[in-house]
Structure 1
């Protein structure tokens, strides 16, 4: 049995339709005035009277300009143009009007004005202003939290490999292509990522770092893409914005990308291809404008071969690739890095440190640094804490360095400190001479690498009783 609504009963004839439309106009909370093609006022609703102060019996059936000589609605009737946001005043009543022609079968048969009191407009304007201020404050907060601090000026080194990586990274900064940074832990992957962001056109927008290995797999999707309200148990009211949305307009740095769960790799691939994201529990996608920089200390090709990493995602990320050398392959940069770390530490606060002794520096350059620059910083910070003077010496370095088997292979028992220092110094000089040779040029190069003058090297050869009759590993030896 078909249910017949009150609406169906009312609008079955023209009179019923007119009553329906009249009731609608009476209920609208904006002021409405309608004129016909002769400029005669045909209808006003109660809200129009409240806003303008003009009563129904003062205007209905009369030409609009006979009652209100400065009315603009007749102009809309004549030229058929829509007018919006027109300021009007009737006595002490101020309001804003939108006007439009009424067109039926291609003919203008009248015009309508819709008005809103200025007080109400002012309230809406103020509310809009407050919302914009809150949005801007939120943006400033996001930008202050997710702001890159490092530039290419912070990347230190004269090593050829690192200089080549800086050159490529600077060119990459000019583009919007994905960048994949590969290197051992502690080699400065995030430093490069921030520098690329800072050098490019997105520098004034957020830089959002994400450690894919640090966030539990069950939470990673909602952290990256956000979620809508009610999408799962304990979901926050109003949902949550994801890190990709926070990075909109800027850069997202996906560190340890090799640890990204396999199912999420497909979603990241879609972000790269379509520039859209879908929140957890949402039914539609949102467009985003984000540059992706990824980093890993793993061999992604091996992960692809073992089917732990998607091949299509690998090639999407593998557009511009940087291979950062480990510190053991750029030992000539250790003095620069060490002195930079000392300067950045403020010289140790109440115990200012200005230099590192030649013996200590030689030891630092002989160590293989499995923790790379991060480990070097820890060692220098430790030494600054241990020293009471202006110079870091061998005995200020941490036990992890002093007990390294490559440094003290014969140290099986406690020895007097002076003897240990002499043995270390002697071993380092012998290794340098074997590498560069014992001729004049070889000694000059050895002295340079050891950070001492040629005269000092000759003195130490004599003092430590080092024979110059050594088998050389130098290319010309």
Structure 2
């Protein structure tokens, strides 16, 4: 009896609360007597206040709430239908001091359920749209077809990279700046089973060390001043099930190397300022222009992390070691604008240059030359002067005696023709200046491709 009195204590207050709720509510006591219904219950089921104080089973045939009262089990999503109404019901026992003293029924009309279902669908579509936009923002553009070159060193690098695509092992790409390390990384991703997921590039040298940790691993709410509410996922989480490209890994601070190693070993991470661990599935491709073995030897890079990353090693050769590819590279670059043609002498100058900036520098040179050209033919005069000077110097230092004689002979003839003229009269005069016959001059012009 005492429990029934305590149950009724403050009944008016709870009744007011129930009237504010936009779900239908019906409450019975342990004797199955209806103690309360709210207006929303009437609106959904059509049952009015006259049922209060009466046994539920007598007025609601097939009512399942008394069964909940008896067995104490929670029932969710029970479909109910009367002559002109359909709704969904959740039922639960009311327990005080371990004893079932009543039961409550909470219902929603199918119209409301449908609205909620449609809203949930819209929200899911928004989430999928955001995911799609994120994937496009972190999309790898290049494939192995974009890697130009037929030299043995390039072919070897491509072969290793293609085999690496078939696995999820870490890859370490080494090579000088401007050789195209990210091109290889994107190609590996696009040929792998993760190609439909995000490719997230991170330049470890470009992000301040104070920010790199939170960028990679994310942070929790209140982790530091101005931290976003609810925290922020890091790039590891953005790359989940995809590929994380850690460019210039040799410049990563020592303090982060240990945390990166743990993520690679455990496949779990903790955001900055959190204790919760999150499962992560990311394929790591790292790259560096530095001598990483030397960094390990000098204790600037963790040896255990090096071995963890150096599962598959790809060495991208510098351009000076694959000069036979220069023609292919400049033709590919020049064709992006229009049908430019590099004259033979201009190509020879480009091949004589050492290209400290590698393919990136070559691309800039081609852009400059196409801008300076008066027509579709690109000559030595259209090339940057410092490249011509260094290229000519390198060419002179490496040429044979026969090549030097040929070059100097060509220079003298060009100078004579420039002074005397290129018509028949001019050529006769040039032959006299050079001390040779006109027939000999014509033979030399043909031999020297002039």
TM above 0.5: yes
1:387 is aligned to 2:379: no
Q: Match for 1:346 among 326, 334, 337?
A: 337
Point out where structure 2 has 5 or more consecutive residues left out of the alignment. 399-406, 415-442
* CA–CA distance in structure 1, aligned partners of residues 45 and 128 of structure 2: 36
Q: 1:23 to 1:302 in 2, by over 3 A?
A: farther
Q: How do 1:437-448 residues align onto structure 2 when only pairs under 5 Å count?
A: none
1:14 is matched with 3
Q: Match for 1:398 among 384, 389, 395?
A: 384
Question: Is the contact between residue 408 and residue 424 of structure 1 (CA under 8 Å) also seen in structure 2?
Answer: no
Q: Match for 2:221 among 229, 239, 252?
A: 229
Question: Is the contact between residue 76 and residue 99 of structure 1 (CA under 8 Å) also seen in structure 2?
Answer: yes
Q: Match for 1:55 among 33, 41, 48?
A: 48
The structural deviation recorded for 1:312 is 1.3
Q: How do 1:196-345 residues align onto structure 2 when only pairs under 5 Å count?
A: 196-343=188-335, 345=336
Q: 1:463 to 1:226 in 2, by over 3 A?
A: same
Q: 1:311 to 1:73 in 2, by over 3 A?
A: same
Q: How do 1:58-73 residues align onto structure 2 when only pairs under 5 Å count?
A: 58=51, 61-62=54-55, 64=57, 66-69=58-61, 71=63
Q: 1:116 to 1:234 in 2, by over 3 A?
A: same
Alpha-carbon deviations, 1:333-356, whole Å to 9, x = none? 11111111112x222xxxx42x21
2:122 is matched with 130
Point out where structure 1 has 5 or more consecutive residues left out of the alignment. 1-10, 411-418, 427-458, 466-477
Q: Provide the secondary structure at the position in 1 that maps to 2:223.
A: coil
Question: Is the contact between residue 249 and residue 287 of structure 2 (CA under 8 Å) also seen in structure 1?
Answer: yes
The structural deviation recorded for 1:316 is 1.0
Out of 308-317 and 81-90, give the one that drifted further. Answer: 81-90
The structural deviation recorded for 1:114 is 3.1
Alpha-carbon deviations, 1:321-379, whole Å to 9, x = none? 11111111111111111111112x222xxxx42x2111112222222211111111111
Question: Is the contact between residue 34 and residue 56 of structure 2 (CA under 8 Å) also seen in structure 1?
Answer: no
Q: Match for 1:377 among 355, 358, 363?
A: 363
The structural deviation recorded for 1:387 is 1.0
Question: Is the contact between residue 394 and residue 421 of structure 1 (CA under 8 Å) also seen in structure 2?
Answer: no
The structural deviation recorded for 1:97 is 1.6
The TM-score with structure 2 as length reference comes to 0.77
* CA–CA distance in structure 1, aligned partners of residues 331 and 72 of structure 2: 77
Question: Is the contact between residue 53 and residue 90 of structure 1 (CA under 8 Å) also seen in structure 2?
Answer: no
Question: Is the contact between residue 33 and residue 41 of structure 1 (CA under 8 Å) also seen in structure 2?
Answer: no
Question: Is the contact between residue 228 and residue 238 of structure 1 (CA under 8 Å) also seen in structure 2?
Answer: yes
The structural deviation recorded for 1:142 is 1.0
The structural deviation recorded for 1:397 is 1.2
Out of 234-243 and 147-156, give the one that drifted further. Answer: 234-243
The structural deviation recorded for 1:113 is 4.1
Alpha-carbon deviations, 1:372-403, whole Å to 9, x = none? 11111111111111112222222211112101
The structural deviation recorded for 1:279 is 2.0
Q: Provide the secondary structure at the position in 1 that maps to 2:394.
A: coil
Q: 1:280 to 1:301 in 2, by over 3 A?
A: same
Count the aligned residue pairs.
406
The TM-score with structure 1 as length reference comes to 0.73
* CA–CA distance in structure 2, aligned partners of residues 114 and 421 of structure 1: 102
Alpha-carbon deviations, 1:20-64, whole Å to 9, x = none? 7989985564444467999x5555542544542313532654353
1:160 is aligned to 2:125: no
* CA–CA distance in structure 1, aligned partners of residues 313 and 367 of structure 2: 32
Q: How do 1:84-95 residues align onto structure 2 when only pairs under 5 Å count?
A: 84-90=76-82, 94-95=86-87
Q: Provide the secondary structure at the position in 1 that maps to 2:284.
A: strand
1:194 is matched with 186
Q: How do 1:385-464 residues align onto structure 2 when only pairs under 5 Å count?
A: 385-404=371-390, 405-407=393-395, 422-423=410-411, 463=447
Question: Is the contact between residue 407 and residue 424 of structure 1 (CA under 8 Å) also seen in structure 2?
Answer: no
Question: Is the contact between residue 56 and residue 63 of structure 2 (CA under 8 Å) also seen in structure 1?
Answer: no
The structural deviation recorded for 1:82 is 6.9
Question: Is the contact between residue 51 and residue 93 of structure 1 (CA under 8 Å) also seen in structure 2?
Answer: yes
* CA–CA distance in structure 2, aligned partners of residues 199 and 421 of structure 1: 53
* CA–CA distance in structure 2, aligned partners of residues 460 and 45 of structure 1: 112
Question: Is the contact between residue 33 and residue 56 of structure 2 (CA under 8 Å) also seen in structure 1?
Answer: yes
